[in-house]
Amino acid sequence: MRSTSRLLGILAGTALVSALAVPVAADEHDNAMVRVVHASPDAPNVDIWVDGDTVLTDVPFTAVSDYLSVPAGTYNIQVTATGDTSPVIEADLEFAAGTATTIAAYGLLADITAAVFTDDLTTADGQAKLRAIHLSPSAPADVDIAVTGGDVVVPGLAYPEASGYLTLDAGDYPLEIRAAGDTAAALQFDVTLAANTNYTAFAMDAADGVQVIAAVDAEGMTESPDTAMTPPTTGTPVLLAGIALLGLAVLTSVRVVALRNER
């Protein structure tokens, strides 16, 4: 049905990047694309297990992995505190051929769980796509995302759900997060969107309120979902860049600070 040893080899050799999670081109049409997000603010660093074997170790809060190209099939996924073998999350997940999936560990440690989101890898010609995922347990349960001082563009985004993708002109956008129905900004930030690129903005807890971690879902893909993706040759952090990992080693930490945090 699928080769577990092959999956382990792919995962073990893949870098985690929380600044820009870029897609990996699949060489087989029967593969699926999968990435992992650590969004539990009080949880320790975690290990990721697949079918009983450790594949990623010491993953920190706010990390977003690269997309991993894996054989389609069903896998037992476990999340444990680093160095522990007792899972805090366990689920059997099926990954269909030709799909892209984000698995997010979210919530406080006492009730940590996993959410699974389907990603859009088909870009809009000459435009950008942007969606938001609400993974901040300390933020209001429902939030609006609006142009700074202006109209709401994503109304009533509930925790822990994802908005649909918005298709926008490439460019710079000043945005803010508000409690749903309110006009006061809880967080203001700028976002720069490139043409022919899809983004996900993850709202997570921060020491002083809320932060936004951005990832690239797809870049430069034509309208045909069967066309292989090309990873970006240059990268600019979109909202917030986090910790970059290569294997098990922490290499660098880069942050672009939000303009204003008013909690």
Does residue 187 surpass a pLDDT of 90?
yes
73-110 residue pLDDT tens: 999 999 999 999 999 999 999 999 999 999 999 999 99
Mean pLDDT of 160-170: 97
Show me where the domains of the chain are located: 4-261
DSSP state, residue 125: T
Rounded CA gap, 199 and 160, in Å?
A: 18
Rounded CA gap, 174 and 148, in Å?
A: 6
Place of tokens 């099939």: 73
2-46 residue pLDDT tens: 433 333 333 333 333 333 333 444 445 789 999 999 999 999 999
Give alpha helix (H) positions in the chain: 4-12
Give one DSSP letter per residue of 145-161, joined into a string. Answer: EEETTS-EEEEEEETT-
Are 20 and 194 spatial neighbours (Cβ–Cβ below 8 Å)? no
CB atoms near residue 152 (< 10 Å): 15
Does residue 255 surpass a pLDDT of 50?
no
